[in-house]
Amino acid sequence: MILIVDDDIAVRTSLSLLLKTAGYSVCTADHAERAYEMIVNETPQLVILDLNFSNDTSGKEGIMLLEKVRQVNARVPIMLITGWASIELAVQGMKLGADDFLNKPWSNEHVLQSVETLLTLRTARTVSKTRKDLDRKYNFRQIIGEDAGLLDILETVGRVASTNASVLITGESGTGKELIAEAIHLNSNRASKPFVKVNLGGISSSLFESEMFGHVRGAFTDARIDRMGRFEMANKGTIFLDEIGDLEASSQVKLLRVLQDRTYEVLGSSRTKTVDTRVVCATNKDLNQMVSAGLFREDLLYRINLINIHLPALRDRKDDIPLLVNFFIDNLKEIYNRPLLQVPAQTMRWLKELPLPGNIRQLKNLVERTVLISLRDELKVEDFKSQLHPAPKENRNSLPEVGVMTLDQVEAEMVKQAMKYHNNRITRAAASLGITRNALYRRLEKYQIPYDESE
C-alpha cells in the first residue's frame, strides 16, 4: 500500500487515481498527525509526502513529519514532492532520510517510474552471492574479479539495473567505473538502445547546452547545420556522464534542471523535448567534499546518486590481480597469435605486490606493453620490470608513464613541489607555476594542501 500525504485534495485525488490505475493500492492522509498514525499502524510500503502543505508554505510541518517518521521507521521509502522554488527544502528532506524527490508539476510517467524504482530497491538483498551465481543471472562478461567487495558491487549492479534509478559510480581513476556503467546498461531493459558516454570534463560551459541538448541551424553564429544533442542520442537508452565532478557551476544548474523536469529545449528552437534516459554518472572526486567547499551543487548530488557504487582500488583487492592478468593475457594470445603466452606463478606473485596507483588501467597497459616488447612466451619478472620503469631514453621527458598518474595527481604534486620550493610563499609559488594567486588558492583548497593564510 502506498500512502499519499497532502492537504490538497486535488493532489491526493490525482495521485491516487494514477497509482490505482497502475495497480497499486493506495491510502491518503490530509494532515501530518493522521499520516503519522497511518505510518505507525498500517506500515505502508512507500510514502509520498508533499512538503508544501498549503497552510504552511515554509515546509516545516512536512519536515517535522519526515523526522518523526524516520525515528520510528528507518526503512519505508519516502518520496518528497516540492515546488521547483523550494528545492532547498527537498535537499533538507533528503538529508533527513527521504529517498527521492519530485517537483511540481510532475509528469505521471516520472511518478510511476520513481515509485517502481523505490519499491524494487526496497526488496531485501539476496545475500552471499558467488561469482557463478551472479554470472548465471546477469551479463558481467567483461568484468573480471572475485573479490568479496566486487561481488557485492556486482550484486547491486544486477539488482538496480532494471530500475531507472540514477547511479553515481565513484572510485579512483582506472578502477573500472565506465565498465560498471556499461554493465548497468547491458543488464537493463534499455540494453538494445544506445549507451551514450559524455565526458563532462571536456565540455566548457559555453558549449554545454548545444552539446547536451543540440541546436538548430542558425541558433548561433557557428551553427551551420542542425545538431542532435547527447540526451536525444541516448533517448530510451542510458547516458553516462563521466567526470561529473569537473562540471562548471553554470552547467551544473542546467543539468539539474533537465534531470529534474525531464524536459529541455533544443538551442534556437522553442520545442520542448522529453528525456527518457537512464542517468549514470561517474567521478574520481569526492563530491561530498566538493559540496562542503561550495564547488558542487548539493541538490544535483542528491539527484544523481539515488544509488552510490564505490569501486575499490586495485591495491585493496590484490587477489584479483592474477585473474585480471590472465584475462588480459588470454585476449593478447588471440590478438597477437601467441597461444603459448603465460605468466608463471613467481611472476604473478611479484605482480600482486605492485602498488599500481593507476589501478586496472595501469595493470592492463603494463601487461600489453610487456607482451609487445618481450619475445619470450613465458613472461619473467624482468620483462615486466623493464616496462614498469623503462630505462631512461635520450630526450625522454621526466613525466611519469601513462596510466601511472592522473592529470589531477600530477597537478597536485607540482603545486606541492612549488610550495615547498618557495617556502609556502604564495606569490612566488603562483608565479613559478604561471598562475594567479587566486588560481593557486583554488588548487590548494582543491587538493587540500595546507598553507599559511596570513601569507
Ligand X SMILES: Nc1ncnc2c1ncn2[C@@H]1O[C@H](COP(=O)(O)OP(=O)(O)OP(=O)(O)O)[C@@H](O)[C@H]1O
Interface positions with ligand X (CB under 6 A): 143-145, 171, 173-179, 242, 282, 284, 324, 327, 360-361, 364
To the nearest whole angstrom, how small is the minimum distance from the Cβ of residue 412 to ligand X? 16
d(CA 13, CA 235): 31
To the nearest whole angstrom, how small is the minimum distance from the Cβ of residue 169 to ligand X? 8
To the nearest whole angstrom, how small is the minimum distance from the Cβ of residue 378 to ligand X? 23
Decide whether 179 or 233 has the Cβ nearer to ligand X: 179
Decide whether 364 or 443 has the Cβ nearer to ligand X: 364
d(CA 298, CA 64): 21
To the nearest whole angstrom, how small is the minimum distance from the Cβ of residue 313 to ligand X? 10
d(CA 274, CA 161): 22
d(CA 342, CA 171): 30
Run of H or E including 287: helix 287-292
To the nearest whole angstrom, how small is the minimum distance from the Cβ of residue 327 to ligand X? 6
Run of H or E including 198: strand 195-199
To the nearest whole angstrom, how small is the minimum distance from the Cβ of residue 92 to ligand X? 32
Decide whether 5 or 181 has the Cβ nearer to ligand X: 181
Q: 163: which DSSP letter?
A: S
Using H for helix, E for strand and C for coil, what is the string for 403-453?
CCCCHHHHHHHHHHHHHHHCCCCHHHHHHHHCCCHHHHHHHHHHCCCCCCC
Which cell goes with 439? 588560481
d(CA 34, CA 319): 54
Residue nearest to ligand X (CB): 176
Decide whether 266 or 405 has the Cβ nearer to ligand X: 405
Decide whether 119 or 290 has the Cβ nearer to ligand X: 290
To the nearest whole angstrom, how small is the minimum distance from the Cβ of residue 149 to ligand X? 12
Decide whether 199 or 292 has the Cβ nearer to ligand X: 199
To the nearest whole angstrom, how small is the minimum distance from the Cβ of residue 406 to ligand X? 7
Decide whether 82 or 173 has the Cβ nearer to ligand X: 173
Helix, strand, coil % in the chain, rounded to nearest 5: 50, 15, 40
Q: Considering only CA atoms, which of 54, 135, 31, 50 is closest in space to residue 93?
A: 50
Decide whether 391 or 407 has the Cβ nearer to ligand X: 407
To the nearest whole angstrom, how small is the minimum distance from the Cβ of residue 189 to ligand X? 23
Contacts 24+ apart (CB under 8 A), 434-438: none
To the nearest whole angstrom, how small is the minimum distance from the Cβ of residue 175 to ligand X? 4
Decide whether 180 or 418 has the Cβ nearer to ligand X: 180
Buried b (16+ CB within 10 A) or exposed e, 355-393: ebbbbbbbbbbbbbbbbeebeeeebbbebbeebbeeeee
Tell me the HSE value of 4 on the side-chain side, using a 13 A CA sphere: 22
Decide whether 4 or 167 has the Cβ nearer to ligand X: 167
Angle between helix axes 108-122 and 9-21 (nearest 10 degrees) is 70
